[in-house]
Amino acid sequence: TKKHRVAVIGSGNWGTTIAKVIAENTKANPDLFEETVQMWVFEEEVQIPESSEHFDRGSALCTKPQKLTHIINSIHENVKYLPGVPLPSNIVGNPSLEETVKEASILIFNLPHQFIEKACDQLQGKILPFARGISCIKGIEVSDKGIELFSEWIGRKLGIYCGALSGANIATEVALEKWSETTVAYDPPSMDSSQPSPQGSPKTSQINLGEMSGRAEDSSKKVKMMALPAEYPPLSHENVKKIFHRPYFHVRMVDDVAGVSLGGALKNIVAVAAGFVDGLGWGDNAKAAVMRVGLLEEVKFGKMFFEKSVKTATFTEESCGVADMITSCSGGRNFRCAKMSVEKGMSINEVEKQELNGQKLQGTSTAYEVNGFLKSQGLEDEFPLFTAVYNILEGNKKPEDIPKLLEAPSKYR
């Protein structure tokens, strides 16, 4: 029998944290997984900062900037995107996407969403055809054809099944092993757990990847997917959970991929709004009001555009919904940068550049993408908070206008 090889595509703040979680689990479950976890690193030259405990004036590694993969593989720390957190030595930073995914049966996608398209272009034809994916990306794909979940978009692009992981998970807290919960949605067609295919004839199945809103027809969403060969351990909920579950990182498994993906994406817009009102010094009540409306708009968006698959309970009962809303509006990067932009009178993009050392905000781009889609559907007024954030980012409205903007009546409530 074979073991699963897990590869992580991405090595930012969350990408590196999830690689750490997984590498601990591959080591703890040798019956299921190969121990080594390849992690794709978008290569860059990085100087180990003098504040790092690894800084040593006499060491060649510290005298000039080095390749980030070399640093990660030498001192087992991602000094740029997850400084101060020791990484398990079974994580291998790899600058080649193709080598990272070689023979990997489980692919974990964890990149800022603006970079996923290029990565998937490079991955086409390079992955095992029966691989399974999990997207940890908090964002949605918007094109002139409509709006799509990244899990489904990745699945369609690569011809594989892709689930989703999302939760109230500020990366640094998870990396420091402070307890949190997360939600993993994994619901492949039943052939995975059924009979193995006859020798020499890979079992395939045509699956429909849910709905894409704003599209006239769904035919491009049919994916021909190959069954997992019988020599691999089955990817049941129990085994998928073992990829991520740690004593400090509690996984709840669900089937609602759309709800999990949308919660993670849309709360980033709400966190920007929470940052705006906090930046005005309006206090916790104002922030709570923004969160309340934000949660309602998440549910409404899911029900309106992904009605066949989304469950309201995913937003109201799971970590990926209400809990992620709360944590992101308390200490997330979108919240912090939006708050600082109001306090300092700077644009949020300037704050991002100045404060995040290369990390990327997702809330601003998601606000634009969601607005472009809502506009195309004539539904901007139905989502006053999402629309307000877009208009404030565009300079059409001010953070002070938020209470008035949220009063707008709705036709569909």
Q: What residues are labeled active site?
A: 267
The angle at the Cα of 319, spanning 317 to 322, to the nearest 5 degrees, equals: 60
Residues lying near ligand 13P in the complex (CB under 6 A): 138, 168-170, 268, 271, 324, 327-328, 332-334, 362
Q: What phi and psi values does residue 52 have, to the nearest 5 degrees?
A: -75, 145
Going by C-beta distance under 8 Å and a sequence separation of 6 or more, which residues neighbour residue 16? 39, 78, 81, 82, 85, 87, 171, 175
DSSP 240-266: HHHHH-BTTEEEEEES-HHHHHHHHHH
Residue 161: strand pairing partners: 132
Residue 163: strand pairing partners: 134
Q: Minimum Å distance from CB 106 to ligand 13P?
A: 22
358 binds, among ligand 13P, ligand NAD, none (CB under 5 to 8 A by kind): ligand NAD
Q: Minimum Å distance from CB 364 to ligand 13P?
A: 10
C-beta of 192 vs 318, nearer to ligand 13P: 318
327 binds, among ligand NAD, ligand 13P, none (CB under 5 to 8 A by kind): ligand 13P
- Among 8, 12, 152, 335, the residue binding ligand NAD under the rule CB under 6 A is 12
Helix (H) or strand (E) holding 161: strand 161-166
- Among 4, 5, 20, 113, the residue binding ligand NAD under the rule CB under 6 A is 113
Q: Which of 107, 79, 87, 77 is nearest to 8 (CA)?
A: 107
How many Å apart are CA 356 and CA 358, to the nearest integer? Answer: 6
What is the CB neighbour count within 10 angstroms for residue 247? 8
How many Å apart are CA 237 and CA 225, to the nearest integer? Answer: 19
Taking CB under 6 A as the criterion, which residues in 224-253 touch ligand NAD? Answer: none
Taking CB under 6 A as the criterion, which residues in 282-341 touch ligand NAD? Answer: none
C-beta of 44 vs 307, nearer to ligand NAD: 44
Token readout for 348 is 């949020």
Query: Counting contacts by CB under 6 A, is residue 170 touching ligand NAD?
Result: yes
Q: Minimum Å distance from CB 331 to ligand NAD?
A: 9
Q: How many residues bind ligand NAD (CB under 6 A)?
A: 24
Name the residue number minimizing CB distance to ligand NAD. 12
Give the x-and-dash track for 63-82 against ligand NAD (CB under 6 A).
Answer: ------------------x-
- Among 136, 185, 370, 379, the residue binding ligand NAD under the rule CB under 6 A is 136
How many Å apart are CA 238 and CA 366, to the nearest integer? Answer: 33
Residue 113: strand pairing partners: none
C-beta of 24 vs 324, nearer to ligand NAD: 324
Span from 130-138, 204-212, 283-291, 370-378 in contact with ligand NAD (CB under 6 A): 130-138
Q: Minimum Å distance from CB 31 to ligand 13P?
A: 31
How many Å apart are CA 375 and CA 371, to the nearest integer? Answer: 6
Give me the residue label for tokens 């949660």.
295
Q: Which of 118, 253, 225, 218 is nearest to 162 (CA)?
A: 225
Judged by the rule CB under 6 A, the positions of this chain that interact with ligand NAD are 10-15, 42, 81, 110-113, 115, 136-139, 169-171, 358-360, 362
